[in-house]
């Protein structure tokens, strides 16, 4: 693990405007910078970067946070990868925390395999461009396939020499051990010596989402060799076939920007489409599509278009993938190419505009694709048609969203010329297979149940949650501001009676909030608000103020997102240049005392309302008259307290 000292140094050194400026064109706007959103298509800038607070906010997508959060969103790095990226950019030496011997050995082994894989990629690339064998065999093959030199270099394609142990000897001379050469699968060691696994093959490096080389795919070119046409690296500490997608590193930005991913079968399919301008394309590398691979895509988009050959094998592969994608709650379309064509050959023969037009026109929703395909195979046979219906309903049952299920059932009923009730019955049977004994749908009223379920899942606006968020916002924006508060004190008059007297008291906002909540023993309900509240109060009590650049040095992404949203709240108007239009935004600091009092009193009143409802419910459950009377007395006391709070609130307003 990366040492906390290193992480703190990275946060203190990295400048959010410098890092984001490498990815987004930023223009000065007052004390901030603004630019076009890198997460959506827009003409008016809604992306803001604050150097003072070391935060960014994209108002078009709602995303925001610190410099690490930007790299995780834009580059799709993990947290450690983002820290390492920044450490490298600012020449900060990474200090690792103390690990057990086993952890150290495993971490060293993984890093060694990554370094060896990187070396292998560079070595194969050098063979391709500089060796006579590589240029005559490998480079000429790629050019014959229609790959441009720019594409060959971009995808770091290479060539492994025909000599049985050429790479093994070269890597050994460079200092790499036999153990790692064997573990990576680059070399095979046995009683007869060492052999290069990929000898005589053109090489396709397979990279992680962060760009590190994990493994290789190799295609043999000799027509006489008795070996598999394509060969992949064996699984290792850094390479798991079921968890990688070829081209994902190169395509990730375009996938996120276009909000759709094209999925193909082979390496050459990816490269041909990419160099024709279809950059949001990845491949399952010739293996069956897995849930892990789909989840990788889901990090970037919820929309997948499967591009497969029009032959029987390609169609079967497409059908297998559809159900897996649906289970992940994603939207899937299928596009098949004319007979005898695949994405590689089709891309080679057509222009970018023609390819894009074909994909747009021929990408069918999965239900239309599956219905047409299965009906073709049933050929009017009633028994086969019934099997087809069950097959399609089985796919629909895998969709997690009940509203989508209902829409697809209606669509399927129209296509298959069947009643919706029959299909809803079939869907209910599918659900019951998964959860025996639980009735998922009412056959007699399928449509209404779908609506009822959906309404039940809709989030209900919670006023207490809104007030808690407002309190956190006030603490972030004005916690160290001194404000005036109208407080009520109990004093004894001349006759010895206790009476209320109003006095104006000056205090820091954070002190007022802390003392009022502590006095009433109020704890925030939402866990994230409670966590941020404790952090803010502790910071104010220890340091007396918040430093935005320090505030954003948190590991918790949810906390960072919330704090970023609250910190930029007062600066939204800067994006619109209201002052230039003679529109002046009122400074909220002027009425901060009133705002604090109003928020706390309203929160108290809502909590009392909640308590009254709870007590009334408990009264109904009681059968004993004395117990009922006791509960009703509590209700009356809370009602009285609510009146007092309402009176105070009216005075504040």
Residue bearing the bigger pLDDT, 461 or 33: 33
> Cα 552 to the chain's mean position, in Å?
20
User: In sequence order, what are the residues at sequence separation of 6 or more whose Cβ sits closer than 8 angstroms to the Cβ of residue 94?
Assistant: 2, 3, 6, 83, 84, 87
Q: 3-state secondary structure string, 134-147?
A: HHHHHHHHHHHCCC
* Residue 584 in this model has a pLDDT that exceeds 50: no
Separation CA 252–CA 229 (nearest Å): 28
Average pLDDT on 599-612 reads: 78
Average pLDDT on 312-332 reads: 75
Q: What is the pLDDT of residues 102-122, one digit of tens each?
A: 655 666 788 889 999 999 999
Average pLDDT on 439-463 reads: 42
CB 245 within 8 A of CB 284: yes
Q: What band does 648 get if pLDDT is binned at 50, 70 and 90?
A: low
What pLDDT score was predicted for residue 527?
84
Q: Where in the chain is the domain with CATH 3.90.980.10?
A: 102-239
What pLDDT score was predicted for residue 451?
34
Q: What band does 217 get if pLDDT is binned at 50, 70 and 90?
A: very high
What pLDDT score was predicted for residue 212?
87
Fold of 102-239: DNA primase DNAg catalytic core, N-terminal domain (3.90.980)
593-617 as b/e: b if 16+ CB within 10 A: bebbbbbbbbbbbbbbeeebeebee
* Residue 316 in this model has a pLDDT that exceeds 90: no
Extract the tokens encoding 407.
Answer: 């829409």
Lowest mean pLDDT among 179-193, 278-292, 458-472: 458-472
Residue bearing the bigger pLDDT, 596 or 97: 596
Extract the tokens encoding 417.
Answer: 């010329």
Separation CA 540–CA 380 (nearest Å): 76
Extract the tokens encoding 572.
Answer: 């939204």
Helix (H, G, I), strand (E, B) or coil at 198: coil
- How does DSSP classify residue 2? B
Half-sphere exposure of 315 (CA within 13 A, CB side): 15
Q: What is the pLDDT of residues 294-308, one digit of tens each?
A: 888 887 788 999 987
Q: What band does 22 get if pLDDT is binned at 50, 70 and 90?
A: confident
Name 219's bridge partners: 202, 230
Q: Where in the chain is the domain with CATH 3.90.580.10?
A: 4-89
What pLDDT score was predicted for residue 476?
84
CB 89 within 8 A of CB 187: no
Separation CA 477–CA 513 (nearest Å): 13
CB 82 within 8 A of CB 560: no
CB 523 within 8 A of CB 534: no
* Residue 271 in this model has a pLDDT that exceeds 70: yes
Average pLDDT on 216-231 reads: 83
CB 247 within 8 A of CB 286: no
The whole-chain average pLDDT of the chain stands at: 79
Average pLDDT on 606-611 reads: 76
What pLDDT score was predicted for residue 353?
93
E-strand ranges in 275-369 read 281-283, 303-308, 331-336, 364-365
CB 427 within 8 A of CB 449: no
Extract the tokens encoding 452.
Answer: 């009822």
Percentage of the chain beyond pLDDT 90 is: 23
Strands 201-207 and 158-160: antiparallel
CB 157 within 8 A of CB 202: yes
Where are the alpha helices (H) located in 22-100, listed in sequence order? 67-74, 79-89
How many CB atoms are closer than 10 A to CB 258? 17
Extract the tokens encoding 168.
Answer: 């093994």
Name 508's bridge partners: 482
Angle at 275 (CA atoms; ends 264, 268), nearest 5 degrees: 40
Q: Give domain 4-89's CATH superfamily.
A: Zinc finger, CHC2-typedomain (3.90.580.10)
Separation CA 541–CA 529 (nearest Å): 18
Q: What is the pLDDT of residues 387-396, one digit of tens each?
A: 878 888 888 8
Lowest mean pLDDT among 23-32, 436-445, 525-534: 436-445
Q: What band does 627 get if pLDDT is binned at 50, 70 and 90?
A: low
């Amino acid at each position: 693990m990366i040492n906390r000292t290193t992480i703190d140094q990275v946060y203190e050194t990295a400048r959010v405007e410098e890092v984001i400026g490498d990815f987004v064109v930023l223009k000065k706007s007052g004390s901030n910078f603004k630019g076009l959103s890198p997460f959506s298509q827009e003409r008016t800038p809604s992306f803001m970067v604050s150097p003072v607070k070391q935060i960014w906010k994209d108002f078009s997508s709602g995303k925001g946070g610190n410099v690490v959060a930007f790299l995780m969103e834009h580059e799709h790095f993990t947290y450690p990868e983002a820290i390492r990226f920044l450490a490298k950019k600012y020449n900060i030496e990474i200090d690792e925390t103390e690990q057990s011997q086993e952890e150290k050995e495993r971490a060293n082994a993984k890093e060694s395999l990554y370094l060896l894989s990187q070396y292998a990629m560079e070595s194969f690339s050098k063979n391709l461009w500089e060796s006579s064998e590589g240029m005559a065999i490998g480079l000429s093959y790629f050019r014959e396939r229609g790959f441009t030199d720019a594409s060959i270099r971009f995808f770091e394609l290479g060539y492994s020499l025909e000599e049985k142990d050429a790479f093994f000897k070269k890597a050994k001379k460079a200092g790499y051990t036999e153990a790692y050469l064997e573990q990576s699968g680059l070399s095979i060691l046995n009683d007869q010596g060492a052999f290069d696994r990929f000898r005589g093959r053109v090489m396709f490096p397979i990279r992680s989402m962060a760009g590190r080389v994990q493994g290789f795919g190799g295609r043999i070119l000799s027509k006489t060799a008795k070996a598999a046409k394509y060969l992949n690296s064996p699984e290792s500490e850094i390479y798991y076939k079921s968890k990688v997608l070829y081209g994902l590193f190169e395509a990730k930005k375009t996938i996120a920007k276009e909000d759709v991913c094209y999925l193909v079968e082979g390496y050459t399919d990816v490269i041909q489409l990419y160099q024709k301008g279809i950059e949001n394309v990845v491949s399952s590398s010739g293996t069956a599509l897995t849930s892990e691979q789909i989840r990788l895509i889901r990090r970037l988009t919820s929309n997948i278009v499967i591009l497969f050959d029009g032959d029987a094998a390609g169609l079967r592969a497409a059908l297998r993938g559809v159900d897996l994608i649906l289970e992940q709650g994603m939207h899937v379309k299928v596009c098949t190419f004319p007979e005898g064509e695949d994405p590689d050959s089709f891309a080679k023969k057509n222009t970018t505009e023609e390819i894009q037009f074909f994909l747009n026109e021929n990408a069918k929703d999965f239900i239309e694709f599956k219905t047409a395909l299965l009906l073709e195979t049933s050929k009017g046979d009633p028994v086969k048609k019934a099997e087809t219906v069950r097959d399609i309903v089985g796919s629909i049952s895998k969709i997690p969203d009940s509203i989508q299920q209902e829409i697809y059932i209606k669509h399927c009923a129209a296509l298959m010329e069947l009643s919706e009730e029959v299909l809803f019955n079939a869907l209910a049977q599918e659900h019951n297979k998964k959860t025996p004994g639980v009735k998922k749908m009412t056959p007699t009223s399928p449509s209404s149940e779908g609506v009822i379920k959906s309404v039940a899942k809709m989030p209900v606006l919670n006023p207490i949650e809104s007030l808690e968020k407002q309190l956190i916002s006030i603490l972030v924006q004005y916690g160290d501001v001194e404000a005036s508060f109208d407080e009520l004190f109990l004093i004894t008059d001349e006759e010895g009676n206790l009476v209320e007297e109003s006095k104006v008291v000056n205090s820091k906002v954070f002190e007022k909030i802390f003392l009022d909540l502590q006095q009433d023993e109020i704890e925030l309900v939402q866990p994230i608000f409670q966590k941020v509240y404790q952090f803010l109060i502790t910071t104010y009590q220890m340091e007396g103020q918040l430093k935005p650049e320090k505030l954003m040095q948190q590991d918790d992404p949810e906390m960072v997102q919330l704090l970023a949203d609250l910190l930029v709240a007062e600066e939204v108007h800067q994006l619109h240049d209201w002052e230039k239009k003679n529109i002046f935004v009122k400074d909220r600091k002027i009425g901060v005392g009133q705002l604090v009092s109003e928020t706390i009193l309203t929160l108290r009143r809502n909590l009392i309302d909640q308590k009254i409802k709870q007590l009334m419910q408990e009264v109904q459950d009681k059968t004993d008259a004395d117990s009922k009377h006791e509960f009703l007395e509590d209700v009356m006391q809370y009602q009285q307290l609510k009146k007092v709070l309402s009176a105070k609130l009216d005075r504040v307003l």
